[in-house]
Each structure stands twice: as C-alpha cells, then as structure tokens.
Copies of this chain bind each other. A is one copy, B any other.
C-alpha cells in the first residue's frame, strides 16, 4: 500500500489528531509522524505514547512535512495558518479534520493559494473524551471520511488524501463543503447542542427541587448525555462557525418539540403514539 506521504505533520495533538497518528502507525504507515501543539504536555504525552516520532510547540517542525493536517478547533484555523505559513514548503499538501467545512475550506484555499493545495476532510468518528492520552486505536476503521473538494481543489492532492483515508479503513464520501455543513448541523451539531442544553436544564431543575437530580439517572440518560462531556472549546467553535445551519436545524427541532408538546397537552393518545412509533422506526433503521 502506498501512503503517498513521507512525513506527516499533525497540527493540534488532541483526541482526533492523536488518534490519526495512532491509526497511521497501526495501519503500517512507515513514514515520519510529527506534531505541533501549543501545549507542551500534549507533545510530551504523544512522544511518551509513541504515537508521534517527533513533536514541538514550535510551528517550524512542519517545515519538512509533505502533508500537514490541521486538527485544531475550527475557530483558530486562521490564526494557526498565520503561524504555520512560514513553514509550509511549496507543494506540501494541507488537509484538516474539522467538523465545519463550507466557508473554512474556501478560506484555507484562498490563504494557501499559490503555495500549497488544500483538501478539506472530516472523519465521522470520535469519542466524548479529549486529549492525545485518549487516542483510540482503529477509530477510523469502517467509519465514514467526508472529503470536501471544491472547483479549485488540486486533483492529485485530493487523490492522495482519499487514498490515505482508505488505507486507514475509512469509507470515503465526497461532499460539497456547504452541503456538508447542512448535513452535519442536523446529525451532529444539533445533538451535541441539545445534550449540553438538557444537562443545563437538569442542573437548573436540581436547584428548583433542592436535590441533585443526576443521582437518579439511569443507563438511558447516561447514553443520551454522553456527548455532553465532549470538548467545550471544540464544540463552541463548531456551533459558532456553523451558526447559520445550526440555527436552521434548531428551528426544525423546536418545531418537533412543540408538536410533541401539543400532543401531550391535549392528551392526544393516538397521534402521540404515532409520533413515537415513527421516530422509533426511523432510529431503528440506523445501522
């Protein structure tokens, strides 16, 4: 299997960046893996765990890479690119692992124009944990990887990125960057926002009832709110960068809640049953 890249530099060594490194090694990538992170502890941990071969808090480490992968919160892409720019060698492919694409892909392309080809990507995998120390083996194996080329995307760079993710076991799906943001606003960003919000509501209700309601939660609640333990900065950035789509799907969600609420208020037993049955059927179809 040809990996196409001799040295991969991961910018931001958190759970996703760390898992990317770990999975490269596990799938037999034999090139060099380096990482830059502003937090020296992340770099130290990555070296200790052996997921990277070399690491630094200084962006200059990216200089010798032929692939640079951004794995930082989407809110700092521009700042990070500013810092990285002096160390991006001409022709080096730049890619990312961010959950928002649309305008960010075009920003990266514009920023790197004439210097390096950019290929936007988003692995549909993760956990509610944070940090390289929680990197997961085979995280991307069997998972979807969304690649979001534009009319400007360098075809060769795109092919190389697609091939790399296939080598990691991912199912690569091509999608328009703006369409991507509509889709993931619904199936990922909305659920996270709702999970954080329901925990907020139960904390508030705990105060009202003068008891810690969380002590009475069962397994269903725990599964339901697991994603509320996800990294706050990462999700804050996602919500703000994909604001327009998120507010739209939030509107749809509030409509659904209102529909259910009215059925309950009116004790409409038949229609409420149908509402629940339809959702059960849809959810059960998810493999």
**Complex: how many Å from CA A261 to CA B126?**
24
Name which of A12-20, A22-30, A57-65, A274-282 contacts chain B.
A274-282
Please tell me the number of chain A residues within 8 Å of chain B, measured between CB atoms.
89
Residues of B contacting A259 in the complex (Cβ-Cβ under 8 angstroms): 197, 200
Integer count of this chain's copies in the complex: 2
**Complex: how many Å from CA A265 to CA B250?**
12
| With known contacts A182-B209, A200-B278, A272-B239, A223–B226 Cβ distance under 8 A | yes
| With known contacts A187-B214, A216-B144, A260-B193, A279–B199 Cβ distance under 8 A | yes
Contact with B along A203-238 (1 / 0, CB 8 A): 111001101011011111111111111101101100
Interface of A is mostly: helix
Whether A279 lies near B228 (C-beta < 8 A) is yes
Is A283 in contact with chain B by the CB < 8 A criterion?
A: yes
Chain B residue, CB-CB nearest to A253? B201
Whether A249 lies near B128 (C-beta < 8 A) is no
**Complex: how many Å from CA A217 to CA B229?**
18
Is A102 in contact with chain B by the CB < 8 A criterion?
A: no
- Chain B nearest CB from A22 CB (Å) reads 17
Chain B residue, CB-CB nearest to A237? B269
Q: Which 5 A-B pairs have the closest CB atoms?
A: A232-B276, A199-B279, A201-B256, A200-B256, A201-B253
